[in-house]
Structures are given as C-alpha cells and as structure tokens.
Structure 1
Amino acid sequence: MSEEKRTAAVITRLERQKKNKHRINVYLDGEYAFAIHEDVLVKYRLNKGCKLDEADMKELLDAEEKNRAVQYALRYISHRPRTVEEVRRYLLDTGFPASVADETVSGFIKRKYLDDRAYARQWVEERLRLKPRGRHLLRQELQARGIDGEDVEAALAQVEQEDEEAACLSIARKKYGQKRFGSFQEMRNKIGPFLQRKGFPHEIIKKTLETLKNESINQEM
C-alpha cells in the first residue's frame, strides 16, 4: 500500500439529505467533505469505513459532475422533445464543461433519449397540422435547432406537394378569409408577401391566389 493510501481519509458517515433524498452527504474523518448522488454511491460501492485518497475523491467528484449533468438533461427533456444541440447548449449554459456536455449527449443518443431525425419528422407533421409553414421556413426552423442537414431533408421529403398546397390555402383563408379586396392585384399584393414569409414557394402561392380569386368570384355571383 502506498503512503498516499495509508494516509487516506476514512468515510465515517453517510447521510441522506432531507431536501433531496437522492443526494448523500459524505463525511470523512468525522467532518463533512462533499455530497454525491445515490447512483454514484452505489456505482462505487461506498459505505462507512471505506478509505479514499486524493485520486479516489477526484474520480468520485468527476463521476458526480457527470451524473449531475445527466439529471439536469433528463429534467430538460422531460418537458418536451429536444434536439441534440438544444440539450448540449442547455448544459453549456448551465455551466457544465464541453467534455461533460458532449459525453451526456452521446449517452442520450445511445439510449434513444435523443433522436434528431424523429424530432424533425414530428416537428414537420405538427407544424403542418397546427401552424402551417412552407418547406423553406420549416427548413430554417429545424436548422436553427441544430438539426443536421440530412435529417432536415429526410423530414421534408415526407411532405407531399398536396399537403403543402393545402397548408398554404388554409393559412391564407384563416388570415384573410373575411376580407374583401377591390381587385385581384390588391389581393396578390397583400396575401402574396404574407405567404412568402411563411416559407411557401412561388408556384404554390400563385396557385393559392388563383383559388382565392375563384372563390371570391363565386361568392359574388
């Protein structure tokens, strides 16, 4: 046994915290030393009488930091689906080092807690159903959330042109359905830019405007 091991501190008490039952206060040689999550305690099989040298304590505290990042990330993704980059940014903003954030994210990907391709697919489906958007804007929204280009295009590939046309017409009717225009040009100048901002391509906007024009004519007959 090395001199360092012979002078190692001894765990004299393990105390579960009152406000957080999952965290354990560790006392060395009769004095409070640090707190760790119960998962770390179990992993390293710590109990009263165990000896810890400086290297042991560093390993424990590193493990505690990684476990803490996992707990933070789990709470973060429990509210709603998140992308890989969103979780990574959250951990960095919370104060975890990049190495811990990257390791946490990698573990979540392996456990299928994070799946950017599935996230992108669900995002597109819900947007088209609840808040219609065109492909261009959907692409921008996904890219802003850190989704890889290949996963973005895979999600957009599921959008049929008919679905995009229906979404464009739906949002135009919702916004301007009750408005009466003096001319087709006035309608085009008002509705066209609005649909462009929603990410719809020119050909679909043109078709939508023609449909609205025909509906307007029929209402007047």
Structure 2
Amino acid sequence: MTRTAVVTGASSGIGAATARRLAADGFTVVLAARREDRLAELADELGATYVVCDTTDATAVAELATAVGDTLDVLVNNAGGALGADPVAEASVADWKTMFDVNVIGTLQVTQALLPALVASGNGLLLNVTSTAAHEAYVGGSGYTVTKAGVSVLTRTLRQELLGQPVRVTELAPGMVATEEFGLRRFGGDQARRDATYAGVPGPLSAADVADTVGWIASLPWHVNIDLLVLKPRDQASQTQINRSQG
C-alpha cells in the first residue's frame, strides 16, 4: 500500500533531504515550498509531485490540502527560518513578525489544513521540525528562539489534544546543521558570518543526518510515539558550548 508524505520547505536544506529520504523509503512525496523552479527540479528527480505554497498564505495552504486529498500518512512541517542575531533591545520588529508568521502561523495553518487527512489515514505522523533553540535561550537567539519555542509548545499541545486519535505527534529539534541557505538568510546574505557559525567545528550535522532521523521516526510502528528527539553533533554540548578544535 502506497504511503503519502508532505514535506514543507522542501526546496532546499533539511526539507529537500527529507523528501529524498522519504521517497527512497517508498513514500509518494508531495513537495511544498515557495520556489517553483527548485520544486520542479526535485520533483523530477524523485518522481514526486509539488505544490507551490507559501505556508503563511491561507489560500495557498488550502490548495495544498486539496492537492493532497482525503488521506495523508506523514506531514513534516519543516518550513521556517531565522532572521538576524541582534540582542532583543536592538532587534527588528519586522524580522520578528516575519519569523512568527513563517515559523508559528505557517506551521499552524498547514497542520489545521492537513490534520483531517492524517486522522483519516488511520496511522498518521505529524512531525514538526523545531531546533535546540526552542529549548535553550542564548544571546543572539532573539526572535528565532521565541518562535521555535512556540512551535515546541504547539507540538506538545497537539500531543495532548490528539490523544486517542490515530496520529503520532513528534518534535524533532536539531542542533547545529550546516546548510548553506539557512545561515545566509539569517545574516542577510553575509557569507562570512554564515561561515563563521560553523568555523572549526569538526562535524556539524548535515541535512541528510536530520532527514535520516525523520525516516527512522516514520518507520516506527503505530504504537510508538517519539514525543521529542533532540539531535546534535558530537561537538555541540549546548547552544554556546561548541568544540571548534579545527579552527
């Protein structure tokens, strides 16, 4: 029996890697993101389908739900991002609003739209990708930590509200993942600041590492729920304790 998975933020990084892993595991994958050129290329590679979808746009999310249909086995809410690393006193309110819209409201809207299909599958998995930043405040985390903490609370609330329903609910919180676009967007395209984030770290996580973890969670039997999985590289003990011995 063919299983279907939706991955948001699928045009690059963790989302694209997750789509590849789930496709390799036999899922029919529906890719969702804003950049059609990248979606079309990945869909062609995987034999997947795609929907151009800005998760903050309720109309676009409704179109995604229509494309998915009546049943869905796995939803990976991965779309999100960080903007800036300024202290709270100097942070951009506009950046905070953007992060809240993308990280929290986007996750909420996609979840609301696709939850009936997850329930209808009889064995759904709702997986929200957050961050270790959701669980540890740090200087420079600012709005990113606030919004990711919000998604963490949203996930735990759903776990309680869906008790007795045929849906597993998981929060996956990766630590340092060396993807190109995440850091570049956070620092306004400043390659040097992006590179400095990972400087000297012997082995930051890759997008594929996170995707492999998603694949493992999706493979578990219906009665096993991973409430929270924190995934860090060996060389990261906390948001600020990082081994940079190769620097």
Note whether the superposition's TM-score is higher than 0.5.
Answer: no
Bucket of the pairwise TM-score, normalised by the shorter protein: under 0.3
Which of the two has higher C-alpha Rg? 1
Between Structure 1 and Structure 2, the one with more helix by share is: 1
Higher relative contact order (CA 8 A, sep 6+): 2
**Which has the larger share of strand?**
2
